[in-house]
Chain A
């Protein structure tokens, strides 16, 4: 009888009698559904979208199941020559940068306050969840009313604080302020989650360490910078990464508040992609914007993680 054990005493790879091989096979079987789903619903659509971005692809291609025609990067060059891509990248970067920074700063401040267990902290934590649980589209509509000119709350407050000199301040109608209008609405929506995540991380910092530092004479700022924040590093990394991604793909707030206007002042990559694909029915061009959008987002998240890891090292 031929043995499947080699002269060196090892069983060949295909021999399933080995315990290790059986475990490996079992692991692969368990992984298979996830891998299939990821390939089918994430990888293939991304590859398809990237391939589409290099072609002329319009409605008839979709409905008649016709492949797009290769167009020598025309979707990219057209968007670039018109300045739309650069403008959208710039606006997206500004929106993401400002929103993420402010969300983190405000979230951290609130978390620090709540961590001191002030009276009514539990109640405050519950109330804070309200903006987060409201659907973004509804939040957008609420803020649209708040910003409305001339009957919105913001306009009223501006009128009061300027002694009635400014009575027609339409925040979303002015190029210079429209993006800030969306940023404020975004902060209102996202700060609660950031606060709660940071608070959860904060509460895992050992009290004895903080007390020891205090006894050794470390001030509040020193404890914050040298103990609290380093201990919260992983929570901060996850929550800020989530915040970056959330804001990169932010579309509902822009759709309900400004629709990319006024005069393109809030046309982010998300808005541009939608407009090209579903307003102009040019799916190839929309896919080109989406590809750039994906690349920019991946690069930013990678850079963030790289910087964070380097600091940790």
Chain B
């Protein structure tokens, strides 16, 4: 009888608890657009994270939508146009203007728990400002880092942890390695810089320009005066550096970052410049890439004006417009769940290497691979966001190819760039 009573009591308590839960939280569905699901290395982590979050919060259903990276904005546009909702997006900083102009997204401060929101590092959050508001929150961030094949460097009798800190030193480093691997047939690239005319390359070249001491855009979103100092010298020195690398065969013209990632993973590249999360694709080529991969920041003294400045890139969360209160709460909880050391440490150390962007994760160890580049994040520069950012940056690749491969004069290449960039900015 006692057992029966105990069972009955337990059943009543469970039922009451269930009712209380149901009363507290009506079921909520979040449509989460995540391009990382189409990338092998990241997909498993995201699937597990979503599943464990749903288990911990049974009132929330995360409906993950896998989309192709290159057609994200078109997908949102089509889905919204056909009446579907876009509640949460894993995106990049450069998407913010288009999504704000498209009235897709709202400011995260109106959704996320204020105490948690205050924990984001200001210098990262600042990069996500557009049209007077902060329109995204970072999951993590990076700047441009140099990936180095430790084994190839050491085989040439050099030390991987002694990466040059000046432009001249870098040239000597490159020439020494080039001489060593001249007839090896194994190494395709000594120091890779991407120059393919695609958006990711544009962002990469903009970061290099910044490292040379240049600034592409003014604070009010106009094209900076590229003929005034320090921009004129920074641009000339940067273009000469690309020409030097391409003309001597130290870098391969018109290659995309993904090409360098694959070649680096295959052990054919000594060093190349990429975002830290490029490691995800390196790791797909060689699961043991961690054994030979180290990183370094770009040299501090790049040309006349370079002072080790860098631009921030971030994989960030963008929050859809028109959410109800339940969805807002669910998204706030989900972002906190994704942005904590317990859940993100493995990802940041093994999959998509990057730096933490929230003070709540200050105790999260930096990946040993990324340790070398960590010192480069101290001179982060603010980059104004504008609507046609993608095209304005992509034209940088056109300018580099124009000057370094097609023989345009410095003046013609820069003038042509200014004309093109202003065409997009003034639209």
B405 touches which of A60, A65, A173, A282 (Cβ 8 Å): A173
In whole angstroms, what is the CA distance A175 to B104 when docked?
Answer: 39
Answer whether residue A172 sits at the interface, using C-beta atoms and an 8 A cutoff.
yes
Which residues in window 120-166 of A have CB below 8 A to B? 149-151
In whole angstroms, what is the CA distance A285 to B388 when docked?
Answer: 14
**Chain A residue with Cβ nearest B98:** A281
* B265 CB to nearest A CB, Å: 16
On chain B, the residues within 8 Å of A60 by CB distance are 101-103
In whole angstroms, what is the CA distance A60 to B405 when docked?
Answer: 39
In whole angstroms, what is the CA distance A13 to B318 when docked?
Answer: 64
On chain A, the residues within 8 Å of B198 by CB distance are 259
When each residue 14-56 of chain B gets 1 if its CB lies under 8 Å from chain A and 0 otherwise, what string results? 0000000000000000000000000000000000000000000
* A140 CB to nearest B CB, Å: 14
Task: Name which of B73-81, B214-222, B301-309, B345-353 contacts chain A.
Answer: B73-81
On chain B, the residues within 8 Å of A168 by CB distance are 249
On chain A, the residues within 8 Å of B98 by CB distance are 59, 281
* B253 CB to nearest A CB, Å: 5
In whole angstroms, what is the CA distance A1 to B98 when docked?
Answer: 73
In whole angstroms, what is the CA distance A172 to B73 when docked?
Answer: 28
Cβ-defined contact, B405 with A174, below 8 A: yes
Cβ-defined contact, B401 with A263, below 8 A: yes
Answer whether residue A82 sits at the interface, using C-beta atoms and an 8 A cutoff.
yes
Cβ-defined contact, A62 with B81, below 8 A: yes
CB contact under 8 A between A279 and B390, given known A263-B401, A285-B427: yes
A150 touches which of B252, B423, B424 (Cβ 8 Å): B252
**Chain A residue with Cβ nearest B390:** A279
Cβ-defined contact, B252 with A172, below 8 A: no
B398 touches which of A58, A62, A264 (Cβ 8 Å): A264
On chain B, the residues within 8 Å of A278 by CB distance are 73-74
Cβ-defined contact, A280 with B398, below 8 A: no
B73 touches which of A64, A78, A281 (Cβ 8 Å): A281
When each residue 402-424 of chain B gets 1 if its CB lies under 8 Å from chain A and 0 otherwise, what string results? 10011010000000100100011
In whole angstroms, what is the CA distance A63 to B322 when docked?
Answer: 13
In whole angstroms, what is the CA distance A172 to B391 when docked?
Answer: 21
On chain A, the residues within 8 Å of B196 by CB distance are 259
On chain A, the residues within 8 Å of B104 by CB distance are 59, 63
Answer whether residue B87 sits at the interface, using C-beta atoms and an 8 A cutoff.
no
In whole angstroms, what is the CA distance A83 to B416 when docked?
Answer: 12
Answer whether residue B127 sits at the interface, using C-beta atoms and an 8 A cutoff.
no
In whole angstroms, what is the CA distance A58 to B77 when docked?
Answer: 10
* A80 CB to nearest B CB, Å: 12
**Chain B residue with Cβ nearest A283:** B77
In whole angstroms, what is the CA distance A65 to B102 when docked?
Answer: 11
On chain B, the residues within 8 Å of A201 by CB distance are none
* A118 CB to nearest B CB, Å: 41
On chain B, the residues within 8 Å of A58 by CB distance are 101-102
On chain A, the residues within 8 Å of B427 by CB distance are 78, 280, 282, 285
Answer whether residue B197 sits at the interface, using C-beta atoms and an 8 A cutoff.
yes
Answer whether residue A68 sits at the interface, using C-beta atoms and an 8 A cutoff.
no
On chain A, the residues within 8 Å of B74 by CB distance are 278
Answer whether residue B314 sits at the interface, using C-beta atoms and an 8 A cutoff.
no
In whole angstroms, what is the CA distance A60 to B105 when docked?
Answer: 11
When each residue 68-111 of chain B gets 1 if its CB lies under 8 Å from chain A and 0 otherwise, what string results? 00000110110011000000000000000010011110000000
On chain B, the residues within 8 Å of A279 by CB distance are 199, 390-391, 394
CB contact under 8 A between A173 and B253, given known A62-B77, A278-B74, A285-B427: yes
Answer whether residue B188 sits at the interface, using C-beta atoms and an 8 A cutoff.
yes
Answer whether residue A170 sits at the interface, using C-beta atoms and an 8 A cutoff.
yes
Cβ-defined contact, A262 with B390, below 8 A: no
**Chain A residue with Cβ nearest B399:** A263
When each residue 79-110 of chain A gets 1 if its CB lies under 8 Å from chain B and 0 otherwise, what string results? 00010100000000000000000000000000
* B147 CB to nearest A CB, Å: 20
In whole angstroms, what is the CA distance A279 to B387 when docked?
Answer: 11
In whole angstroms, what is the CA distance A85 to B125 when docked?
Answer: 39
Cβ-defined contact, A170 with B424, below 8 A: no
On chain A, the residues within 8 Å of B253 by CB distance are 149, 170, 173
On chain A, the residues within 8 Å of B391 by CB distance are 275, 279-280
A261 touches which of B76, B81, B398, B423 (Cβ 8 Å): B398
Answer whether residue B254 sits at the interface, using C-beta atoms and an 8 A cutoff.
yes
* A91 CB to nearest B CB, Å: 15
On chain A, the residues within 8 Å of B401 by CB distance are 173, 261-263
In whole angstroms, what is the CA distance A279 to B424 when docked?
Answer: 11
Which residues in window 341-399 of B have CB below 8 A to A? 387-388, 390-391, 394, 397-398
In whole angstroms, what is the CA distance A281 to B252 when docked?
Answer: 31
On chain A, the residues within 8 Å of B406 by CB distance are 174-175, 262-263
In whole angstroms, what is the CA distance A264 to B394 when docked?
Answer: 12
**Chain B residue with Cβ nearest A176:** B406
Answer whether residue A192 sits at the interface, using C-beta atoms and an 8 A cutoff.
no
* B408 CB to nearest A CB, Å: 8
In the complex, the 8 A-B pairs of residues with the closest C-beta atoms, listed nearest first: A59-B102, A261-B197, A63-B80, A173-B254, A262-B401, A263-B402, A60-B103, A82-B423
6 contacts between A and B (CB under 8 A): A59-B77, A151-B188, A258-B197, A260-B197, A263-B401, A282-B427
Q: Which A residues have a C-beta under 8 Å from some C-beta of B?
A: 58-60, 62-65, 78, 82, 84, 149-151, 168, 170, 172-175, 258-264, 275, 278-282, 285
Q: Which B residues have a C-beta under 8 Å from some C-beta of A?
A: 73-74, 76-77, 80-81, 98, 101-104, 188, 196-199, 249, 252-254, 387-388, 390-391, 394, 397-398, 401-402, 405-406, 408, 416, 419, 423-424, 427
Other than A65-B81, A150-B188, give 19 A-B pairs with Cβ distance below 8 A. A58-B101, A59-B73, A59-B104, A62-B80, A63-B81, A78-B427, A82-B423, A149-B253, A173-B253, A173-B405, A174-B405, A258-B197, A260-B197, A262-B254, A279-B391, A280-B388, A281-B98, A281-B387, A282-B427
